[in-house]
Amino acid sequence: MQTVSENTCFGGVQGVYSHASTACQCDMTFGLFLPAEARDGPVPLLWYLSGLTCTHENAMTKAGAQAWAADHGIALVFPDTSPRGPGVADDDDYDLGQGAGFYVNATQTPWAPHFNMWDYVTEELPALLTDKFAIDGDRQAITGHSMGGHGALTMAMNLPGRFRSVSAFSPICNPTASDWGRKQLTAYMGDDETTWQRHDATVMMGRTGFDGPVLIDTGSKDQFIDLLRPESMAAAIALRRQPATFRLQPGYDHSYFFVSSFIEEHVAFHAQALWD
């Protein structure tokens, strides 16, 4: 692992690090904010998974989450959204290839050698974080935006006991029934739609739900709302009678102005679960 940068931030340290990834077979970069409390011992960890076209930098620099994480004494990790590099497959469309890993393990050509973001985020990076930093691996929570909200919800419901809470901003809720999902799931995982199901938050809500607090925010004026399909998730939550807070925020769109407006509430929501 190499240190790209470290900056003092709200009494803690905002770092950027790179390492050779076994899962993705390329160098990967991530951001990690450690609050001041990490100097004295392991602290809880909140994952932030970013959306299409993003890198580790977008939420790290635009969301304003560090201030609130510092207040609650929790760490924040910002993984990249896909493998990258000259030897990594890509596509001319913004919603496939580099910057669009969709947090799945690819099985199809040409994606399979590198696009293993599920294993990277759920196995390889957690092991590295707890080994190299003052992170309490038993106290984790997860959130994300758009494609990252899809990843956060599906990981939380597929990995019972891993995360104490889950939230999402403008998540892709029902990718198996949306053009923002069917294209990518077919490209990465093939035509067998049974393999897609665990990567659909609406399907997983119906199957397993989540044993913990859930918070989902979507803007009522989100320009991608027809692709996000929040109504599908709301219906699944209601049918399962899942304890959850699901909000359509009036007037907000899909941008980081929306995320930054509600990040304080999301961090506080997770902090309550992480310190309980």
The rounded average pLDDT for each run of 10 residues, N- to C-terminus, in the chain (276 residues) is 98 98 98 98 98 98 98 98 96 97 98 98 98 98 98 98 98 95 97 97 98 98 98 98 98 98 98 96
Q: Biggest alpha carbon distance in the chain?
A: 50
Identify whether the C-beta of residue 232 lies closer than 8 Å to the C-beta of residue 177.
Answer: yes
Instruction: Report the CATH number that the domain containing residue 260 is assigned in CATH.
Output: 3.40.50.1820
Q: What is the residue range of 181's domain?
A: 2-274
Query: For residue 138, what pLDDT is reported?
Result: 97
Query: For residue 33, what pLDDT is reported?
Result: 98
Residue 118 CA to residue 124 CA, distance in Å, equals 9
Write the CA distances from 163 to 147, 167, 204, 211, integer angstroms.
18, 11, 15, 9
Identify whether the C-beta of residue 201 lies closer than 8 Å to the C-beta of residue 171.
Answer: yes
Query: For residue 60, what pLDDT is reported?
Result: 98
Residue 147 CA to residue 121 CA, distance in Å, equals 14
Identify whether the C-beta of residue 205 lies closer than 8 Å to the C-beta of residue 171.
Answer: no
Query: For residue 234, what pLDDT is reported?
Result: 98
Alpha carbons within 13 A on the beta-carbon side of 88: 21
Residues making up the chain, counted from first to last:
276
Please report where in the chains the tokens 């209601």 appear, as a residue: 238
Residue 145 CA to residue 261 CA, distance in Å, equals 13
Query: For residue 180, what pLDDT is reported?
Result: 87
- pLDDT of 102-157, one tens digit each? 999 999 999 999 999 999 999 999 999 999 999 999 999 999 999 999 999 999 99
Q: pTM of the full predicted structure?
A: 0.98
Write the CA distances from 86 to 43, 90, 162, integer angstroms.
36, 9, 34
DSSP string, 215-266: EEEEETT-TTHHHH-HHHHHHHHHHHT---EEEEETT--SSHHHHHHHHHHH
Structural domains in the chain (count) = 1
- In this structure, are strands 135-144 and 43-49 parallel, antiparallel, or unpaired? parallel
Q: How many CB atoms within 10 Å of residue 196?
A: 21
What is the three-class DSSP state of 23?
coil
Q: Mind telling me the catalytic residues?
A: 146, 222, 254
What is the three-class DSSP state of 95?
coil
